[in-house]
Amino acid sequence: MLIWEFCIEKGRSAETPKFASAYRIVLCDRMRISLAHPGVGPFVQQTAQALFEAEMLAGYWTTFCDRPEASWRKPMVRLTRAAGVDLESELERRAITSVPMELVRSDPFWEILRAILSKAGADSRVVDAVWERGIIRFDRRVSKLALKHADAIYGYEYCALSSFREAQRRGIARIYEVPAPEHDFVEKLIQQEIDKFPELDDDGRRSYFVERQEERTERRRQEWNLADVIIANSSFTKQSYASAGLDVSKVRVIPLGAPTVNECGLAGGSDDSKPLRVLWAGTFSIRKGAHYLMRAWRSLAPNEKEAGLQIVGSVALPQSILRSLPSSVVVSPPIGRGPLFELYRAADVLVFPTLCDGFGMVVTEAFSQGLPVITTSRAGAADLVRSGENGIVIPAADADAIAGALDWCIRHRAELRAMRHRAIEAAARWQWHDFRRELIGQVISGLEAAGT
């Protein structure tokens, strides 16, 4: 039996955010935790790094990640470059830099297939079916291989059912992270938007997802019930589960951290003689409120001397919504974090009018580069936005509110530029190292409370 000895220091300094506790942890025996997630996003890698720094990481299980040392890498990059495909950038986006690669176990086939189909413009139903097949295979593989030398499994929403069941059978602790609001809450919200704007239903494909909603919600609920500790990234995410009738007593809320601040962003943006640079970063989808931004931009109708909008990310709206775009709008494919952060520094404001987001890392990423943000009260990260100081918080699903905020930015360039200082300060108050420290403390205290 593992014995844990730790104390939680109650005192906080004036500079410490209200959600931060200082943990001093003394381990009498090392708990070994296997981390399993099909992706390599920043929040997953930060969790892996937190476990590694605490000498608790048994292994990081994922699907497709970059393998810089692989013999196939250079020839494949050269071959695809000759065919006009930028494989190098795609691999860089999937690089794992937080932990030694010898701790990483990958199973890439189904994720590579899904990515190829998605980039080739395949039917969304086909892409989803491949994704589903890959997730189920990934979870089963984790259940068979990742628990052998582990005392706990750290899994994520929708990809942990088999591994949690096997962990329960073996008497192994189960830690569950939910990076998004409750599934039915999200799906009902999207259906409401399609009912309101039928043109958002791309050739009736929505019915495919509606048919699978009940089954997918049930899978998530079984995972929830099997978990000993649940990690949520915001009070908004936690509340969505409480509203759905789930027991949230085992939920620990830990906001995601901000990247290291770059004070060069204070001098970023454009001067008053140039058009306002408005940036969108991330998937351009219904859930993110992309269709409301399009309506707002067309309503505002800024000329090219007043403002320009750059959309960077995968487009998940029907192409009909993007027909006849104004010349002031530019759509670009996803890019690596380095180039994206350069765009943050060059832009004047980030627009993130999400209808429903557990957190919204683009907010803290933008803040770290000195970029003010327009977002809605339905983003978990909106807790960090002080309207009128480092950004603007508006109601969700309101094109007029988006247009009004953008119009204010066009007409108040000096005030907008002054927000860059407050944005940097907000990012500096809660960095990724703060998140990692808080996560380890909350995992340990949560497992102690669960009696594992």
DSSP letter assigned to residue 194? H
DSSP letter assigned to residue 262? -
Backbone angles phi, psi at 341, to 5 degrees: -65, -30
> What is the Cα–Cα distance from 394 to 377, expressed in whole angstroms?
6
301-355 per-position pLDDT tens digit = 999 899 999 999 999 898 888 888 899 999 999 888 899 999 999 999 999 999 9
CATH superfamily of this structure's domain 263-429: Glycogen Phosphorylase B; (3.40.50.2000)
- For 450, the token pair is 């669960």
Tell me the pTM: 0.89
Q: What is the 3-state secondary structure (H, E, C) of 157-172?
A: CCCCHHHHHHHHHHCC
Helix (H, G, I), strand (E, B) or coil at 379: strand
Is 308 in contact with 278 (CB distance < 8 Å)? yes
> What is the Cα–Cα distance from 213 to 207, expressed in whole angstroms?
10
- pLDDT score for 9: 40
User: At a CB cut-off of 8 Å and minimum separation 6, what does 134 contact?
Assistant: 38, 63, 109, 110, 111, 113, 114
- For 406, the token pair is 């953008």
Judge whether 4-257+432-450 and 263-429 match in fold: yes
> What is the Cα–Cα distance from 283 to 306, expressed in whole angstroms?
25
CATH superfamily of this structure's domain 4-257+432-450: Glycogen Phosphorylase B; (3.40.50.2000)
- pLDDT score for 203: 62
Average pLDDT over the chain reads 90
> What is the Cα–Cα distance from 108 to 100, expressed in whole angstroms?
18
Classify burial at 121, counting beta carbons within 10 Å of its beta carbon; exposed 0-12, middle 13-18, buried 19 or more: exposed
55-70 per-position pLDDT tens digit = 999 999 999 999 888 8
Q: Helix 206-226 crosses helix 124-145 at what angle (to 10 degrees)? A: 20
> What is the Cα–Cα distance from 419 to 266, expressed in whole angstroms?
9
- pLDDT score for 24: 39
Domain edges within the chain? 4-257+432-450, 263-429
- pLDDT score for 25: 41
Residue type for position 167:
A
**Burial letters 64-76, b for 16+ CB under 10 A, else e:** bbbbeeeeeeeee
Is 292 in contact with 397 (CB distance < 8 Å)? yes
Sheet with 276-281: strands ordered across: 329-332, 307-312, 276-281, 349-352, 373-376, 391-394
Tens of pLDDT along the chain (452 residues) come to 343 444 434 333 333 344 444 433 444 467 999 999 999 999 999 999 999 999 999 999 999 999 888 887 888 778 777 767 677 777 888 999 999 999 999 999 999 899 888 878 888 899 999 999 999 999 999 999 999 999 999 999 999 999 999 999 999 999 999 999 999 999 999 999 999 999 898 766 678 888 999 999 999 999 999 999 999 999 999 999 999 999 999 999 999 999 999 999 999 999 999 999 999 999 999 999 999 999 999 999 999 899 999 999 999 898 888 888 899 999 999 888 899 999 999 999 999 999 999 999 999 999 999 999 999 999 999 999 999 999 999 999 999 999 999 999 999 999 999 999 999 999 999 999 999 999 999 999 999 999 87
Is 110 in contact with 159 (CB distance < 8 Å)? no
Backbone angles phi, psi at 177, to 5 degrees: -115, 135
